[in-house]
Structure 1
Amino acid sequence: MSVKKQLFEECKLYVEKREQTIREIMSSHKKALFSETKSSAGDKHETGRAMLQLEMEKASQQITVVQQMKEVLHRINIEDSSEVVRLGSLVYTNKAVYYLAISMGAVSVENTNYFVISSSSPIGKLLLGKKINDAIYFNGQEIKITQIF
């Protein structure tokens, strides 16, 4: 299996796990919300409900982010190769190797570290549209593109 395919599969797995975790949290909060009964400590009860509502809203926002990640992954064709850096590109530089997909961070495949980044991240924006031998400047360092897959 190609490195690009393995990285893409890691991205899909990451998004699935994240979605599952968020849905479990939402389910847990729903149960807690419905099981809370009014007590003589009314203010305490209302505060507890309000906190659960805030947590539910936060989880809902996280689900939206996960849906956006799924859409980004859906737009990637791992079979495509280009001479120009774009979404789905595997970019080798003199500093590190980047896979433009979703914001996921460092991933190790076959004992090599790859940085899975979003094309809207600061370094992702700089890499987009570049070609082999082009250089970008990030955090005061020159990063030269050596290969694109």
Structure 2
Amino acid sequence: MEIKEILYQKCKDFVDKRLQTVQEIISSNQKALQSETKSSAGDKHETGRAMLQLEMEKASQQLVGISQMQQILSKINITKTTKNAHLGSIIKTDKANYFLVISAGKLVAFDEEYYAISVSSPIGKLLLGKQKGDVLTLNAQTIEIKEII
């Protein structure tokens, strides 16, 4: 398996795991809401329902974010390589290695660390469109691009 395939699959797994977690939260909150309606009345009851409603709203927002990540992943062509950094590129710098896809944190493949970052992140915006040999500055630190895959 190629490095991009491995990193791409790790990002898909990351999104799938988040989706599963959020779905479990929604399911448990729905069950709790149903049991809340059957329990005692009064202020305690209303507070409990309000807290569960807030949790449900938060989970719904997370679902929207997960859906957006899935859309981004579906647009990526991991076989495409260009000289310029683009969505789906692996960018190796003198400081760190980046996979320009979604914000999924640190990934490890072939005993090397890669940071899965989105194009809308500060470093992602800086790297987008850059080429091998380009030097950029982030937080008063210079970063040189060594390779783009």
TM-score w.r.t. structure 1 length?
A: 0.97
Which residue identity lines up with residue 63 of structure 2 in the other structure? I
Separation in 1 of the partners of 2:40 and 2:27?
23
Identity %: 53
Confirm or deny that 1:71 pairs with 2:71. yes
Shift of 1:105: 1.0
Separation in 2 of the partners of 1:6 and 1:64?
25
Pairwise CA RMSD of aligned residues?
0.8
Which digits, 9 at most, give the CA deviation of each residue in 1:75-105, with x for residues without a partner?
1000000100010000011111100000011
Shift of 1:145: 0.6
Residue of structure 2 equivalent to 1:101:
101
- List, as ranges, runs of 4+ consecutive aligned residues in structure 1 with deviation greater than 6 Å: none
Separation in 2 of the partners of 1:39 and 1:92?
59
Residue of structure 2 equivalent to 1:9:
9
Residue of structure 2 equivalent to 1:142:
142
Which residue identity lines up with residue 8 of structure 1 in the other structure? Y
Residue of structure 2 equivalent to 1:35:
35
Gaps of 5+ in 2: none
TM-score w.r.t. structure 2 length?
A: 0.97
Aligned residues: 148
